[in-house]
Amino acid sequence: MSAGTMTAEQAAKALAERAEEVALCLDFDGTLSPMVDDPEAARPLHGVVELLGPLASRFAAVAIISGRPAAYLAEHLAAPGVRYLGLYGLQEIHDGEIQVDRRLEAARPTVEAAAQALRESDAVRESGAWLEDKEYAVAVHTRRVPNYEEWTDRIDRTAREIADRFGLELIPGKLVWELRPPVRGDKGDAVRRVVAESGARVVVVVGDDLGDLPAFAALTELAAEGHPVLRVAVRSEEAPAELLDAADLVVEGPEEVLEFLRRLAA
């Protein structure tokens, strides 16, 4: 069900009528949570968590798919029936236990060494950039760095050099550079897994960043296979143009995502 000229209200109504066939895949930062200077302070918009359980009870699947660790997602978005796919789907919680791709576990010492190299780099020390330990990945954040624009090129070069040195993959985002093992797995793979395991016929992805582009691409492939799909981009000052261009529907910030979820639950 490509939205085309359909409004968010019309799209939500059409989806709600087929709820038992729909897989709803949601990003976290910038989608369910407003962007904040301190990534550790990110929390879902008030009212989001209360909707997730009722949606999961009616829809084929409700999945939170994020670069965040699965435990973080489960802690801050706790609701019955919801799936939590962390690290772009390479980590998931099943029956209260975290399951991790074994290739990630093997790469932990390398990630720790790269994190130490970043910590000791001039660019990170002098800028005051914050390092986020994701256990199986490390991310450099500049959102709370004064005059962060002045540091962007230098931190980008540093992150790329260290990623190359340790054989890690660099995933850039909005004011963040994530270094992680080159283990195949992105949001597109995660979306396909949710669809296959839930038996969903209709697939919705809601996201706001470069990491959501593979999920949008997966929906294009699923549409070619006969699945009705809806790509929802969340607009902000930092939302990448290519994501907005690829979307079937654009909403304005997490507030409109919340309203969209309310309409789905109505």
Domain identity same for 118 and 228: no
Distance from C-alpha of 54 to C-alpha of 188, rounded to nearest angstrom: 25
Q: Does the residue 3 lie in any domain?
A: no
Tens digits of per-residue pLDDT, 192-241? 999 999 999 999 999 999 999 999 999 999 999 999 999 999 998 888 99
* Ordered strands of the 229-235 beta sheet: 97-100, 91-94, 83-86, 61-65, 22-26, 202-207, 229-235, 249-252
Of 180, 208, 242, which closes a domain? 180
Domain identity same for 123 and 157: yes
Distance from C-alpha of 44 to C-alpha of 163, rounded to nearest angstrom: 31
Structural domain of 212: 8-100+185-265
Domain identity same for 166 and 243: no
Q: Does the residue 45 lie in any domain?
A: yes
Region 66-78: what's the mean pLDDT?
Answer: 93
Token reading at 12: 């939500």
Domain identity same for 96 and 196: yes
Which residue of the set 27, 29, 101, 212 is catalytic?
27
State pTM to two decimals: 0.79
Domain identity same for 87 and 169: no
What is the percent of the chain with per-residue pLDDT over 70, rounded to a whole number? 98
Distance from C-alpha of 64 to C-alpha of 23, rounded to nearest angstrom: 11
List the CATH number of the domain containing 141.
Answer: 3.30.70.1020
- Structurally, the chain folds into a number of domains equal to 2
Tens digits of per-residue pLDDT, 149-183? 899 999 999 999 999 999 999 999 888 999 999 98
pLDDT for 2: 52
Catalytic site includes residue 186 = no
Domain identity same for 92 and 210: yes
